[in-house]
A and B are shown apart, each in its own frame.
Chain A
Amino acid sequence: MNTLLIPLLVAIPLGGAFFIPLVSRKVRVLADIIGNLATLSVLVIAVLLFQVRTVYSIGGWNASVGITWVLDGFSNLMLVIICLISFVATLFSSQYMERYTAKYKFYSLFLLMVAGMNGVVMTGDMFNLFVFLEIASVASYALVAFGGNHEELEAAFKYLVLASIGSTLVLFGIAFIYGATGYLNMASISQAIRTGPRTPILTLAVVFFTVGFGIKAALVPFHPWLPDAHPSAPAPISAMLSGVLIKALGIYALTRVLFNVIGITPIYGAVLITIGALSMVVGVFLAVGQWDFKRLLAYHSISQMGYVVLGIGLGGYILASGGKQSAAMLAILGGIFHLANHSVFKSLLFLVSGSIEYSTGTRQLKEMGGLLEKMPLTRATCTIASLSIAGVPPFNGFWSKLIIIMAAFQGGYPWLAALTILVSFVTLLSFIKVLRYAFLGHLPESLKAVRESPALMSIALVVLAIFCTCMGLLLIPGAREMILDPAVGALANGVGYAQAVLALR
């Protein structure tokens, strides 16, 4: 039964995407229905499969001959996150996207993006990873340009050029790996690398993967596309891009390849820590000066991705250099938990910005003000999300940051902990600014007629706000063993991945 459900995770969004253009040119509402149903059913399947750990051979070809899907703790967690955010985003967009024409193209591209991300997260094959990476990327280029104005086109072109360079580098890296080992299956590659000598070609491949996936994840030296592309997209797409796309295509793929396929070494760990710390600091200081709401959020995405990479990289460094095992596990736990938290609160923030833009028609903080009375629900959800991202207790962002800081202390890097606290403080300042200018102050004359956003959009906001408030509960013992620890274990297992996959088969 379960094995029958696995292919549907990719087949349903693909089928939906192919089917929507066929039927919904005549009956417009079908696009909404099919889009929402597809994401809902995928979410249900992802939740049903959450406890399943298996290897699925596509076409019945075993192991290295065909393509395999590997479901382990990390993949399952990512799948649930992706499907949850995409369901909420489709719910939001059925009313929001009335602003644009050609809604069916939007839904079709959206489902293609979901299919691509699910494929990336599930696959156990390097080249298949590249193909699905490209599906998600191509769909996202088009979605960034969906508005068709000057800014959107410019941002989309910038994004397309940088991200295509990234994809080409990834493909070149895969070619190196194939030339060195003769396999494409991740588990087989990992085994071949472990038994064979570590040649310079592998180092070159790692450099290419780091740059390629780093561009997709917008880590700091490679970030210039993100602050343009994410604000230019329609709000639900911004939520998807910031919430899950950069994580699935960038961070998930990078960590999977570095930890499980090639094997983490102290040098790679140190590189990850450096990139993470740099993203954290540069992102937040660039964000403080912004007055465009969505652009500010986009810079914060860079900074928060820095936390995730810092946590995971710290864990990898400690593991590889033979430090304290418990500190390493804690650091990786912090990174992965922050990844999950960030996808929830950052999507919520982007949806809030969309909701404000839908009602008021502006994104500039200076033109807003006094929306407290007019849009109480938006204001409440925005406050929750802002407190989460700034790391104020009881909300989810606090717990994951706390874990990263604790791990840095335990591992013996107090200056990293201090840096994290500093960045967290600047984030708080920046969001106090948002709340102050958007919701307090006096209402400008032009915004007297503003009303709360429509029902479906509000439902989407509330769902995510509930998640923001409650996700701290994932840390209580029972839930943590069930949900977060398998994901940490999958990464910390390192090149033991190969045996784990072979045992599951």
Chain B
Amino acid sequence: MVYALCFVLFVIGLYCALTKKNIVKIVIGLTIMEYAVNLFLVLLGYRKDGVAPIVEEGAGPLEFLARSVDPLPQALVVTSIVIGLGVTTLAIALCVRLYEKYGTFDISEIRRLKG
């Protein structure tokens, strides 16, 4: 059920990126898609009544192993958040430059190249 809600978020982002006419909206759609994937990865690693994957001084290793949430998806998501930031930054730079050239964010007016 939680997975499905996360997937709804992803589909909303995809819908936004595919149908919107405003280039900033498209970038927002891309960002929402990324958020959904990140959340999905972390959801995959959650353990009921788990603890954060940080070893406390004096904690028993076996108990930690049995109770900690999955650390690998968290490490992956740190990487993927940064990658997302990079791509979004580049996209914003392109948007700013496109606005400078065309004077609009409307993609139906940014159409010099023929299909």
Contacts and interface: CB of A to CB of B under 8 A. Distances in A.
B12 interface: no
Contacts of B112: 150-151, 154
Candidate in B17, B94, B101 with the most chain A CB atoms within 10 angstroms: B94
Contacts of B94: 141, 145, 153, 156-157, 160
B44 to A, nearest CB: 5
Interface in A132-185: 134, 138, 141-142, 145, 148-151, 153-157, 160-161, 164-165, 167-168, 171-172, 175, 178-179, 184
Contacts of B87: 134, 138, 160, 164, 167
Interface residues of B, number: 34
Nearest to A159: B94
A160 B76 contact: no
Interface in B25-53: 26, 30, 33-34, 37, 40-41, 44
A110 B3 CA distance: 39
Candidate in B37, B72, B91, B102 with the most chain A CB atoms within 10 angstroms: B37
A138 B41 CA distance: 23
A165 B72 contact: no
B40 A224 contact: no
A155 B107 CA distance: 12
A224 to B, nearest CB: 7
A228 B113 contact: yes
A134 B112 CA distance: 28
B23 A157 contact: yes
A157 B18 CA distance: 13
Interface residues of A, number: 32
Chain A facing B: main interface SS? helix
Candidate in A153, A172, A232 with the most chain B CB atoms within 10 angstroms: A153
A127 B90 contact: no
A131 interface: yes
Candidate in A160, A165, A175, A232 with the most chain B CB atoms within 10 angstroms: A175
B84 to A, nearest CB: 9
B47 to A, nearest CB: 13
A156 to B, nearest CB: 6
B115 A168 contact: no
B98 A172 contact: no
B30 A127 contact: no
B55 interface: no
Given A164-B30, A172-B37, A224-B115, A153 B97 contact: yes
A172 B37 CA distance: 6
A141 B37 contact: no
B101 A138 contact: no
B41 A157 contact: no
Nearest to B76: A127
A160 B73 contact: no
Given A148-B97, A150-B101, A165-B14, A157 B40 contact: no
Contacts of A160: 87, 90-91, 94
B37 A171 contact: yes
B30 A168 contact: yes
Given A131-B79, A228-B113, A165 B98 contact: no
Candidate in A138, A157, A164, A172 with the most chain B CB atoms within 10 angstroms: A164
B50 to A, nearest CB: 16
A167 B1 CA distance: 25
Interface string B84-104: 001100110011011001100
B17 A165 contact: yes
A141 B33 CA distance: 19
B83 interface: yes
B18 to A, nearest CB: 8
B22 interface: no
B80 interface: yes
B1 to A, nearest CB: 15
A266 B86 CA distance: 39
A224 B115 CA distance: 8
Contacts of A164: 30, 87, 91
Nearest to A135: B83
B33 A168 contact: yes
B90 A150 contact: no
Interface of B: 10, 14, 17-18, 23, 26, 30, 33-34, 37, 40-41, 44, 72-73, 76, 79-80, 83, 86-87, 90-91, 94-95, 97-98, 101-102, 110-113, 115
20 contacts: A130-B80, A134-B87, A138-B90, A145-B97, A153-B94, A153-B97, A154-B98, A154-B110, A157-B23, A157-B110, A160-B87, A161-B17, A164-B87, A164-B91, A165-B33, A168-B34, A171-B37, A171-B80, A172-B37, A178-B41
Q: Which 9 A-B pairs have the closest CB atoms?
A: A179-B44, A168-B33, A228-B113, A157-B94, A175-B41, A134-B83, A172-B37, A153-B98, A150-B101
Given A154-B113, A164-B91, 13 more contacts: A138-B87, A142-B90, A150-B102, A153-B98, A153-B101, A155-B113, A157-B110, A165-B33, A171-B37, A178-B44, A178-B72, A178-B73, A232-B113
